[in-house]
Structure 1
Amino acid sequence: MHELRTPRLLLRQWRQEDLAPYAVLNADPVVMEFFPAPLTTAESNAHAQRQHDLLDSDRPALFAVERRGEGDFIGFIGLAVPRFEAPFTPCVEIGWRLSRNAWGLGLATEGARAVLAHGFDHHRLTEIVSFTTVQNTRSRAVMERIGLVRDPAGDFDHPSLPDGHPLRPHVLYRTAAVTSDTGAKPPERV
């Protein structure tokens, strides 16, 4: 399964024609404000290919996102397994990166809600986390709108960034799956 649909979005498998607009998105300094640096075209293409392969193998992955009825690629929303060690890893993270023309319309929230349901229902995860640098108030607001709760005890310094880097302090948000019939969490399957 490589598609999720919301009223305004199609979350789908990556396509060759996504690479050019994705490289533009990843090179935009405003979009990449809370990352150490924009991505090169080669880094952007490699990232898209990894997500394509993960989706093909039915693993948690980032979906390419387009507006339904318009077909324009606007970024990604999905799940990822962080590749660094922290007190809360291993885990599955929800994240998003949308082009600026998609900001302020509630699209990240709409897509992220669908991805949360997909993570709990399809992948049978027991918990999904999200994290960002302290200063990223826009993403933090999305995290709160989709029902994630800040875990101040889980806040951390991102190990991929050097001591003293202004983006190193990160906040951690979490949400757990609860089944409707018993209140018990379903078994994890990653």
Structure 2
Amino acid sequence: MSEIRTPRLVLRRWLDDDLVPLSEIQADPAVMRWIGDGVPRSLDRTAQDIEDWEEEWDEEGFGIFAVELLGSGELAGAVGLYVPDAPAEIAGQVAISWRFGRVFWGQGYASEAAHAALEFALQDRGIDRVVAACRTGDTASANVLDKLGMQPEGVTEDSVHGYDLRLYGIDLTEYQD
């Protein structure tokens, strides 16, 4: 499957033209505050992210989608699936993640895109369980996870960055589309 359409969004594979808009999103400290080390990313680092996401698509049959607005074609962010190396409690499982440009916050795009990505994982790819890690204090992401029906499964420490992560999970048997 190369793309998923929702009422307002298109989730698709990455194009060369996505590099600059995504790098602008990832250069925003507010966007990156809860992601990884919290440091804004350069154009080169963003190019590496896209390359890594595309490699995951090739290796796993899933990955992080580019998210564009259906009406305008504007790149709004990224959402999708990946296999984390850490924390140990979810390493090697399929996880869901997203990031959106600040101008797209508060409009329901993250929930809409994450719902489509979760449905893709559970129904189209036959993945029977999806997990997520959300930094303690990131209430916006926690709200999206709640809307997806993902259940809190404990708290752990990010061994690299030293902050607390709340872990979530959902099984196919619990999923309600």
Structure 2: unaligned runs, 5 residues or longer: none
Number of residues paired by the alignment? 173
Give runs of ≥4 in structure 1 deviating > 6 Å: none
Question: How far, CA to CA, are the matches of 2:83 and 2:117 in structure 1?
Answer: 14
On the 8 A contact 2:87/2:158 being kept in 1, the answer is no
Say if 1:7 and 1:158 are closer, same or farther in 2 by CA, change over 3 A: same
Greater CA radius of gyration, 1 or 2? 1
Paired residue secondary structure (1:178):
helix
1:70-108 alpha-carbon deviations (Å, 9 max, x no partner): 100011010011023512322111111000111101111
Percent of residue pairs bearing the same amino acid type: 30
Q: Using structure 2 for the length normalisation, give the TM-score.
A: 0.91
2:48 corresponds, among 46, 49, 61, to: 46
2:66: which partner in 1?
A: 64
Q: Using structure 1 for the length normalisation, give the TM-score.
A: 0.85
Question: How far, CA to CA, are the matches of 1:52 and 1:34 in structure 2?
Answer: 23
Paired residue secondary structure (1:121):
helix
On the 8 A contact 2:56/2:82 being kept in 1, the answer is no
On the 8 A contact 2:76/2:104 being kept in 1, the answer is yes
Question: How far, CA to CA, are the matches of 1:81 and 1:128 in structure 2?
Answer: 10
1:102-148 alpha-carbon deviations (Å, 9 max, x no partner): 11011111111111111012221111011111011100000001111
1:170: which partner in 2?
A: 165
Q: Write out aligned runs for 1:7-22 (5 A).
A: 7-22=7-22
2:25: which partner in 1?
A: 25
2:141: which partner in 1?
A: 139
Q: What is the root-mean-square deviation of aligned Cα atoms in Å? A: 1.7
